[in-house]
Amino acid sequence: MTDPYAPRDYWEQRLSASFNLRGVGHKSFSEWYNVWLYRRKARCLTRALDGARVEDASVLDVGCGTGFFVDQYLRRGARVRGIDITDVSIRRLREQYHGQFETQDISAAGFVPAPAVDIVNMWDVMYHIVDPALYDLALTNISRSLKPGGLFLFTDWFGAPADQRIAAHVQGRCLATHSARLGALGFTLDGLHPLYHLLNTRRLGSLDNILAPLYYLLDNRATTISKDNLSLGVWRKRVA
């Protein structure tokens, strides 16, 4: 079976049509609902970075999209390099932010790693690398981009009992899958952080839009990761 998902075309088209939080977020929800999803991501990031040295740190943001996380790290005093598979993202972010932005595919065999960075940040990108061989290549490229002792943050269905193909462009992978591959590359798990339980899932149709602030407040109170929704994993590259 040929895979109908062609990442570069898919994202170039999607971000060109909507260079906003809906374009990079959940397209089944309104732009307003997506603002709540991103508020929740910002809180989760703050929790995950608690205790980490971010000021003056070098950060590689993989799949930088509309620059939400570029902005989050610049505000914290980090030096940010962003890569994205689309030209539209890179062109727009070069106009908007200080930093180095390059069109690159993290899952490409010819990926040119940045000078080793302190933090690799990759929100809502890993599960869009659906092909298993490309997933392996992406992890190898990330490992080559990170300093020993550096942090790797990314989102996936860590709490799920097994991997699941959710849509043509979404391959959810569980903790066991990531642990096996990242362990072999010399990473240890630093922590799993709850992201969503209620947000990010269609429940009540258009009523969800009204309930977004309530879902947000309840998701902020969660202390465990969801079995059927996204969470954030923080991994540390072992010092040799």
Ligand X SMILES: C[S@@+](CC[C@H](N)C(=O)[O-])C[C@H]1O[C@@H](n2cnc3c(N)ncnc32)[C@H](O)[C@@H]1O
Stretch that binds ligand X, among 7-15, 48-56, 186-194, 217-225 (CB under 6 A): 7-15
11 binds ligand X (CB under 6 A): yes
Which residues are CB-contacts of 206 (< 8 A; sequence separation ≥ 6)? Answer: none
As measured in angstroms, the least distance from the Cβ of 129 to ligand X is 6
Q: Does 89 bind ligand X (CB under 6 A)?
A: yes
Site for ligand X in 221-240 (CB under 6 A): none
Contact in structure between 108 and 84 (CB atoms under 8 Å): no
**How big is the site for ligand X, counted in residues (CB under 6 A)?**
22
Q: Is 84 in the site for ligand X (CB under 6 A)?
A: yes
Binding mask 49-68 for ligand X (x = CB under 6 A): -------------xx-x--x
Among 57, 59, 78, 129, binds ligand X (CB under 6 A): 129
Q: Can you give the binding site for ligand X, defined by CB under 6 A?
A: 7, 11, 15, 24, 62-63, 65, 68-69, 83-86, 89, 105-107, 123-125, 128-129
